[in-house]
Protein backbone atom coordinates (compact mmCIF):
# COMPACT_ATOMS: atom_id res chain seq x y z
CA UNK A 1 0.00 0.00 0.00
CA UNK A 2 1.31 3.42 -0.94
CA UNK A 3 0.06 6.97 -1.13
CA UNK A 4 0.08 8.04 -4.76
CA UNK A 5 -1.17 10.81 -6.95
CA UNK A 6 -3.17 9.90 -10.04
CA UNK A 7 -0.22 9.96 -12.42
CA UNK A 8 1.70 7.54 -10.24
CA UNK A 9 -1.34 5.28 -9.98
CA UNK A 10 -1.77 5.23 -13.76
CA UNK A 11 1.93 4.50 -14.26
CA UNK A 12 1.67 1.71 -11.72
CA UNK A 13 -1.25 0.15 -13.62
CA UNK A 14 0.70 0.29 -16.91
CA UNK A 15 3.75 -1.19 -15.19
CA UNK A 16 1.72 -4.08 -13.82
CA UNK A 17 0.07 -4.88 -17.14
CA UNK A 18 3.33 -4.58 -19.11
CA UNK A 19 4.86 -7.04 -16.64
CA UNK A 20 2.08 -9.61 -16.56
CA UNK A 21 1.01 -9.62 -20.22
CA UNK A 22 3.49 -9.76 -23.12
CA UNK A 23 0.77 -8.59 -25.46
CA UNK A 24 0.44 -5.19 -23.81
CA UNK A 25 2.20 -2.40 -25.71
CA UNK A 26 2.22 1.30 -24.82
CA UNK A 27 2.86 4.02 -27.38
CA UNK A 28 1.98 7.58 -28.30
CA UNK A 29 3.48 11.02 -28.74
CA UNK A 30 6.43 11.53 -26.36
CA UNK A 31 5.60 8.44 -24.28
CA UNK A 32 8.83 6.50 -24.91
CA UNK A 33 12.18 7.91 -23.84
CA UNK A 34 10.69 11.02 -22.26
CA UNK A 35 7.82 9.24 -20.50
CA UNK A 36 4.95 11.42 -21.69
CA UNK A 37 4.24 15.10 -21.25
CA UNK A 38 2.46 14.29 -17.98
CA UNK A 39 5.06 11.58 -17.14
CA UNK A 40 2.49 8.77 -17.03
CA UNK A 41 4.89 6.41 -18.82
CA UNK A 42 8.12 7.56 -17.19
CA UNK A 43 10.67 4.79 -16.88
CA UNK A 44 8.56 2.20 -18.68
CA UNK A 45 10.59 2.14 -21.90
CA UNK A 46 13.76 1.59 -19.93
CA UNK A 47 12.12 -1.25 -18.04
CA UNK A 48 10.28 -3.01 -20.89
CA UNK A 49 12.26 -2.07 -23.97
CA UNK A 50 11.59 -0.07 -27.08
CA UNK A 51 9.36 -2.61 -28.79
CA UNK A 52 6.88 -2.52 -25.89
CA UNK A 53 6.92 1.20 -25.03
CA UNK A 54 7.70 3.65 -27.80
CA UNK A 55 7.27 7.08 -29.31
CA UNK A 56 4.79 7.53 -32.14
CA UNK A 57 4.60 10.13 -34.91
CA UNK A 58 2.24 13.06 -34.33
CA UNK A 59 -0.60 11.33 -36.12
CA UNK A 60 -3.52 10.41 -33.90
CA UNK A 61 -5.23 8.55 -36.72
CA UNK A 62 -2.02 6.65 -37.26
CA UNK A 63 -1.67 5.85 -33.56
CA UNK A 64 -5.20 4.49 -33.26
CA UNK A 65 -5.12 2.85 -36.71
CA UNK A 66 -1.93 1.05 -35.70
CA UNK A 67 -3.57 0.02 -32.42
CA UNK A 68 -6.58 -1.41 -34.27
CA UNK A 69 -4.25 -3.45 -36.50
CA UNK A 70 -2.26 -4.62 -33.48
CA UNK A 71 -5.49 -5.56 -31.71
CA UNK A 72 -6.56 -7.57 -34.76
CA UNK A 73 -3.23 -9.37 -34.54
CA UNK A 74 -3.83 -10.25 -30.90
CA UNK A 75 -2.02 -7.58 -28.92
CA UNK A 76 -3.56 -5.39 -26.22
CA UNK A 77 -2.37 -1.92 -27.16
CA UNK A 78 -2.63 1.00 -24.75
CA UNK A 79 -2.12 4.04 -26.99
CA UNK A 80 -1.93 7.50 -25.45
CA UNK A 81 -3.47 10.55 -27.09
CA UNK A 82 -1.52 13.44 -25.61
CA UNK A 83 -4.62 15.56 -24.96
CA UNK A 84 -8.22 14.44 -25.48
CA UNK A 85 -8.59 17.60 -27.57
CA UNK A 86 -6.29 15.97 -30.15
CA UNK A 87 -8.33 12.81 -30.50
CA UNK A 88 -10.52 13.98 -33.37
CA UNK A 89 -8.15 12.99 -36.21
CA UNK A 90 -8.46 9.46 -34.79
CA UNK A 91 -12.23 9.58 -34.52
CA UNK A 92 -12.84 7.54 -37.68
CA UNK A 93 -10.45 4.83 -36.51
CA UNK A 94 -12.19 4.79 -33.11
CA UNK A 95 -15.86 5.18 -34.04
CA UNK A 96 -15.96 3.40 -37.41
CA UNK A 97 -13.22 0.84 -36.86
CA UNK A 98 -12.30 -0.08 -33.28
CA UNK A 99 -15.92 0.18 -32.13
CA UNK A 100 -17.34 -1.96 -34.93
CA UNK A 101 -14.67 -4.48 -35.74
CA UNK A 102 -16.18 -7.16 -33.51
CA UNK A 103 -19.67 -6.48 -34.88
CA UNK A 104 -18.77 -6.60 -38.52
CA UNK A 105 -16.60 -9.72 -38.20
CA UNK A 106 -18.83 -11.69 -35.81
CA UNK A 107 -16.08 -11.58 -33.23
CA UNK A 108 -13.43 -12.96 -35.58
CA UNK A 109 -11.46 -9.75 -35.11
CA UNK A 110 -11.69 -7.30 -32.24
CA UNK A 111 -9.89 -4.24 -30.98
CA UNK A 112 -9.11 -4.77 -27.29
CA UNK A 113 -7.44 -1.38 -27.03
CA UNK A 114 -7.45 1.15 -24.22
CA UNK A 115 -7.10 4.71 -25.48
CA UNK A 116 -5.75 6.88 -22.69
CA UNK A 117 -6.27 10.63 -23.02
CA UNK A 118 -5.98 13.49 -20.50
CA UNK A 119 -9.21 15.49 -20.50
CA UNK A 120 -10.83 18.45 -18.82
CA UNK A 121 -9.71 21.88 -17.74
CA UNK A 122 -8.40 23.61 -14.71
CA UNK A 123 -4.80 23.99 -15.83
CA UNK A 124 -5.18 27.04 -18.08
CA UNK A 125 -5.03 24.88 -21.18
CA UNK A 126 -7.30 27.06 -23.29
CA UNK A 127 -9.48 25.79 -26.11
CA UNK A 128 -7.23 22.95 -27.19
CA UNK A 129 -5.97 21.42 -23.96
CA UNK A 130 -9.09 21.47 -21.79
CA UNK A 131 -12.02 19.75 -23.44
CA UNK A 132 -14.14 16.89 -22.18
CA UNK A 133 -15.18 14.93 -25.28
CA UNK A 134 -16.78 11.95 -23.51
CA UNK A 135 -20.17 12.38 -25.21
CA UNK A 136 -18.53 11.89 -28.62
CA UNK A 137 -17.70 8.37 -27.47
CA UNK A 138 -20.70 7.46 -25.33
CA UNK A 139 -22.79 7.97 -28.48
CA UNK A 140 -20.91 5.21 -30.33
CA UNK A 141 -22.11 1.62 -29.97
CA UNK A 142 -19.26 -0.76 -29.27
CA UNK A 143 -17.15 1.56 -27.11
CA UNK A 144 -16.81 1.76 -23.35
CA UNK A 145 -16.04 5.12 -21.76
CA UNK A 146 -14.32 5.43 -18.41
CA UNK A 147 -13.38 8.52 -16.35
CA UNK A 148 -11.74 8.05 -12.92
CA UNK A 149 -11.79 10.71 -10.21
CA UNK A 150 -9.02 9.54 -7.85
CA UNK A 151 -5.79 7.49 -7.77
CA UNK A 152 -7.31 4.30 -6.37
CA UNK A 153 -9.99 4.14 -9.06
CA UNK A 154 -7.59 5.26 -11.79
CA UNK A 155 -5.33 2.27 -11.22
CA UNK A 156 -8.10 -0.27 -10.78
CA UNK A 157 -10.16 1.01 -13.70
CA UNK A 158 -7.14 1.20 -15.99
CA UNK A 159 -6.16 -2.40 -15.27
CA UNK A 160 -9.79 -3.47 -15.81
CA UNK A 161 -9.88 -1.50 -19.09
CA UNK A 162 -6.69 -3.06 -20.42
CA UNK A 163 -8.00 -6.52 -19.52
CA UNK A 164 -11.36 -5.80 -21.13
CA UNK A 165 -11.83 -7.36 -24.58
CA UNK A 166 -13.62 -4.32 -26.00
CA UNK A 167 -12.22 -0.90 -26.90
CA UNK A 168 -12.18 1.50 -23.96
CA UNK A 169 -11.84 5.28 -24.06
CA UNK A 170 -10.05 6.07 -20.81
CA UNK A 171 -10.30 9.79 -20.07
CA UNK A 172 -8.04 11.09 -17.33
CA UNK A 173 -9.04 14.42 -15.73
CA UNK A 174 -5.71 16.18 -15.84
CA UNK A 175 -6.67 18.66 -13.09
CA UNK A 176 -6.53 15.68 -10.76
CA UNK A 177 -3.25 14.19 -12.02
CA UNK A 178 -0.93 15.63 -9.50
CA UNK A 179 -3.74 16.86 -7.35
CA UNK A 180 -4.64 18.16 -5.00
CA UNK A 181 -7.99 19.68 -5.83
CA UNK A 182 -10.77 20.28 -3.38
CA UNK A 183 -13.21 21.76 -5.84
CA UNK A 184 -12.03 25.36 -5.55
CA UNK A 185 -9.10 26.63 -7.56
CA UNK A 186 -8.54 29.47 -5.11
CA UNK A 187 -9.02 27.53 -1.89
CA UNK A 188 -6.77 25.30 0.20
CA UNK A 189 -6.43 21.71 -0.92
CA UNK A 190 -5.75 18.36 0.67
CA UNK A 191 -2.90 16.52 -1.10
CA UNK A 192 -3.63 13.01 -2.43
CA UNK A 193 -1.25 11.73 0.19
CA UNK A 194 -3.67 12.79 2.89
CA UNK A 195 -6.79 11.42 1.20
CA UNK A 196 -8.12 7.89 1.49
CA UNK A 197 -8.55 7.61 -2.28
CA UNK A 198 -4.84 8.40 -2.61
CA UNK A 199 -4.20 5.11 -0.83
CA UNK A 200 -3.31 2.70 -3.62
CA UNK A 201 -2.69 -1.00 -2.98
CA UNK A 202 0.43 -2.60 -4.39
CA UNK A 203 0.14 -5.04 -7.25
CA UNK A 204 -2.83 -6.12 -9.28
CA UNK A 205 -6.43 -5.19 -8.50
CA UNK A 206 -9.35 -4.04 -10.59
CA UNK A 207 -12.25 -1.68 -10.21
CA UNK A 208 -14.99 -3.21 -12.38
CA UNK A 209 -16.21 -1.30 -15.45
CA UNK A 210 -19.88 -0.36 -15.33
CA UNK A 211 -20.02 0.10 -11.55
CA UNK A 212 -20.56 3.51 -10.00
CA UNK A 213 -19.27 4.48 -6.55
CA UNK A 214 -21.21 6.27 -3.86
CA UNK A 215 -18.60 8.73 -2.62
CA UNK A 216 -20.97 10.23 -0.08
CA UNK A 217 -24.14 8.57 1.13
CA UNK A 218 -27.11 10.83 1.75
CA UNK A 219 -30.90 11.01 1.81
CA UNK A 220 -31.91 14.41 0.46
CA UNK A 221 -30.77 14.53 -3.16
CA UNK A 222 -28.78 12.43 -5.62
CA UNK A 223 -25.92 14.07 -7.48
CA UNK A 224 -24.72 12.23 -10.58
CA UNK A 225 -21.24 13.26 -11.62
CA UNK A 226 -17.78 12.03 -12.65
CA UNK A 227 -14.16 13.08 -13.02
CA UNK A 228 -13.02 16.42 -11.64
CA UNK A 229 -16.59 17.43 -10.84
CA UNK A 230 -16.78 14.78 -8.11
CA UNK A 231 -14.54 17.09 -6.06
CA UNK A 232 -16.45 20.23 -6.97
CA UNK A 233 -19.69 18.60 -5.90
CA UNK A 234 -18.13 17.41 -2.64
CA UNK A 235 -17.10 20.97 -1.84
CA UNK A 236 -20.58 22.34 -2.58
CA UNK A 237 -22.26 19.64 -0.52
CA UNK A 238 -19.98 20.31 2.40
CA UNK A 239 -20.64 24.04 2.25
CA UNK A 240 -24.43 23.75 1.97
CA UNK A 241 -24.80 21.04 4.57
CA UNK A 242 -27.41 19.41 2.33
CA UNK A 243 -27.49 15.65 2.88
CA UNK A 244 -26.69 14.76 -0.72
CA UNK A 245 -25.79 11.34 -2.07
CA UNK A 246 -22.88 11.79 -4.46
CA UNK A 247 -22.56 9.14 -7.15
CA UNK A 248 -19.27 9.02 -9.04
CA UNK A 249 -20.32 7.20 -12.20
CA UNK A 250 -16.71 6.17 -13.08
CA UNK A 251 -17.92 4.39 -16.24
CA UNK A 252 -20.37 6.19 -18.55
CA UNK A 253 -20.86 3.23 -20.91
CA UNK A 254 -21.92 0.77 -19.69
CA UNK A 255 -23.79 2.95 -17.23
CA UNK A 256 -24.63 1.71 -13.75
CA UNK A 257 -28.36 2.30 -14.08
CA UNK A 258 -29.07 0.20 -11.00
CA UNK A 259 -27.10 2.51 -8.74
CA UNK A 260 -28.75 5.58 -10.27
CA UNK A 261 -32.24 4.11 -9.96
CA UNK A 262 -31.77 3.00 -6.35
CA UNK A 263 -30.43 6.35 -5.27
CA UNK A 264 -32.94 8.61 -7.03
CA UNK A 265 -35.85 6.46 -5.89
CA UNK A 266 -34.53 6.92 -2.38
CA UNK A 267 -33.93 10.69 -2.50
CA UNK A 268 -36.57 11.78 -5.04
CA UNK A 269 -34.32 14.55 -6.28
CA UNK A 270 -31.46 14.68 -8.76
CA UNK A 271 -28.73 17.07 -9.82
CA UNK A 272 -26.36 16.27 -12.67
CA UNK A 273 -22.94 17.88 -12.93
CA UNK A 274 -20.32 17.64 -15.66
CA UNK A 275 -17.60 19.84 -17.01
CA UNK A 276 -18.32 19.22 -20.71
CA UNK A 277 -20.54 21.61 -22.65
CA UNK A 278 -24.24 21.35 -21.89
CA UNK A 279 -26.05 20.82 -25.18
CA UNK A 280 -25.99 17.14 -26.17
CA UNK A 281 -23.68 16.50 -23.24
CA UNK A 282 -23.84 13.23 -21.29
CA UNK A 283 -26.01 15.01 -18.73
CA UNK A 284 -28.88 14.99 -21.22
CA UNK A 285 -28.59 11.20 -21.39
CA UNK A 286 -28.56 10.98 -17.60
CA UNK A 287 -31.71 13.08 -17.35
CA UNK A 288 -33.42 10.75 -19.82
CA UNK A 289 -32.34 7.68 -17.86
CA UNK A 290 -33.53 9.14 -14.55
CA UNK A 291 -36.94 10.08 -15.89
CA UNK A 292 -37.34 6.68 -17.59
CA UNK A 293 -36.50 4.81 -14.41
CA UNK A 294 -37.69 7.13 -11.64
CA UNK A 295 -40.29 9.57 -13.01
CA UNK A 296 -42.92 8.80 -10.40
CA UNK A 297 -40.43 9.19 -7.58
CA UNK A 298 -39.23 12.66 -8.58
CA UNK A 299 -40.28 15.49 -6.30
CA UNK A 300 -38.59 18.25 -8.28
CA UNK A 301 -37.34 18.86 -11.83
CA UNK A 302 -33.85 17.53 -12.44
CA UNK A 303 -31.15 20.18 -12.38
CA UNK A 304 -28.15 20.10 -14.69
CA UNK A 305 -24.89 21.98 -14.27
CA UNK A 306 -22.40 21.83 -17.14
CA UNK A 307 -19.75 23.83 -18.94
CA UNK A 308 -21.23 26.71 -20.92
CA UNK A 309 -21.89 26.07 -24.62
CA UNK A 310 -18.79 27.97 -25.68
CA UNK A 311 -15.35 26.78 -26.66
CA UNK A 312 -13.13 26.43 -23.60
CA UNK A 313 -11.82 29.94 -22.81
CA UNK A 314 -8.38 30.77 -21.52
CA UNK A 315 -8.48 33.82 -19.27
CA UNK A 316 -12.07 33.09 -18.21
CA UNK A 317 -11.27 29.49 -17.28
CA UNK A 318 -12.68 29.65 -13.75
CA UNK A 319 -15.85 31.35 -14.92
CA UNK A 320 -16.37 28.55 -17.42
CA UNK A 321 -15.45 25.68 -15.10
CA UNK A 322 -18.53 24.72 -13.07
CA UNK A 323 -17.66 25.76 -9.53
CA UNK A 324 -19.14 24.88 -6.14
CA UNK A 325 -21.19 28.10 -6.29
CA UNK A 326 -23.13 26.94 -9.35
CA UNK A 327 -23.59 23.49 -7.87
CA UNK A 328 -24.82 25.01 -4.61
CA UNK A 329 -27.47 27.02 -6.45
CA UNK A 330 -28.68 23.88 -8.21
CA UNK A 331 -28.78 21.94 -4.96
CA UNK A 332 -30.75 24.69 -3.25
CA UNK A 333 -33.16 24.96 -6.15
CA UNK A 334 -33.86 21.26 -6.30
CA UNK A 335 -34.39 21.20 -2.52
CA UNK A 336 -37.12 23.87 -2.59
CA UNK A 337 -40.29 22.36 -1.14
Partner 1 sequence: MTETKPLSLQVPEPSSRPGDKPDFSYIDLSAAGTTRRPEIDCAANSMRDLAFELVKVLDKNNDAVGPWAMDLDDALLLKGLRAMEKTRAFDERMQMAQRQGKTSIYVQCRGEEAIACGQRLALKKGDMCFPTYRQQGLLIAQDFPIVDMICQIYSNAKDKLGGRSLPFFYSEREHGFFSISGNLGTQFMQAVGWAMASAIKGDTRIASGWIGDGASAEGDFHAALVFASVYKPPVVLNVVNNQWAISSFQGIAGGQAANFACRGHGFNIPSLRVDGNDFMAVYAASNWAIERARSNLGPTLIEWVTYRAAAHSTSDDPTKYRPKDELEAWPMGDPIERLKNHMIRKGIWDEERHTALKQELKDEVRAAAKDAESYGTLGKGPVPGIGEMFEHVYKEMPAHLLKQRKQAGV
The binding site for partner 1 (CB under 8 A) comprises: 25, 51-52, 56-57, 59, 61-62, 65-70, 72-75, 89, 92-93, 96-97, 100-110, 141-142, 144, 165-166, 210, 253-255, 257-258
Choose between 295 and 319: whose C-beta lies nearer to partner 1: 295
Helix (H) / strand (E) containing 213: strand 213-216
As a dihedral over the C-alpha atoms of residue 323, residue 329, residue 332, residue 336, rounded to 10 degrees, the angle is -150
Tell me how crowded residue 295 is: count the other CB atoms within 10 A of its CB: 9
Residues whose CB is less than 8 angstroms from the CB of residue 60 and which lie 6 or more positions away in sequence, other chains included: 81, 86, 87, 88, 89, 90
Buried b or exposed e, range 139-177, using 16+ CB within 10 angstroms: ebebbbbbbbbbbbbbbbbbbbbbbbebbbbbbbbbbbb
Min separation Cβ 255 and partner 1, Å: 7
One DSSP character per residue, 166-207 reads: S-EEEEEEGGGTS----S-TTS----GGGSGGGEE-SS----
Min separation Cβ 140 and partner 1, Å: 11
Choose between 258 and 332: whose C-beta lies nearer to partner 1: 258
Task: Please indicate whether residue 129 is annotated as part of the active site.
Answer: yes
Min separation Cβ 198 and partner 1, Å: 31
Min separation Cβ 69 and partner 1, Å: 2
Sign of the CA dihedral 147, 323, 256, 137? negative
Choose between 100 and 326: whose C-beta lies nearer to partner 1: 100
Min separation Cβ 126 and partner 1, Å: 25
Phi and psi at residue 175, to the nearest 5°: -65, -25
| Closest C-alpha among 180, 183, 251 to residue 211 | 251
One DSSP character per residue, 107-128 reads: TSS----EEEEEE--SSS-GGG
How far, rounded to the nearest angstrom, does the alpha carbon of residue 293 sit from its chain's CA centroid?
A: 24
Tell me if residue 142 falls in helix, strand or coil: coil
Choose between 178 and 206: whose C-beta lies nearer to partner 1: 206
| Closest C-alpha among 306, 309, 298, 272 to residue 287 | 272
Min separation Cβ 103 and partner 1, Å: 5
Q: Which residues are catalytic?
A: 129
Amino acid sequence: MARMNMIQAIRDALDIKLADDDNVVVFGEDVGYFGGVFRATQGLQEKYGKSRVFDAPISELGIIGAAVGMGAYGLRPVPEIQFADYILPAYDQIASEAARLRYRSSGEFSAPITVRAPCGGGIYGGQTHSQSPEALFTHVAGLKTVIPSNPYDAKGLLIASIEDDDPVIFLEPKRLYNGPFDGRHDGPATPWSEQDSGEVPDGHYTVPLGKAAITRAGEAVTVLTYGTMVHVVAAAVQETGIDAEIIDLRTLVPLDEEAIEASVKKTGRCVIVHEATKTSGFGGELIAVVQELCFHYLEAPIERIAGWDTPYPHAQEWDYFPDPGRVTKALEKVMLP
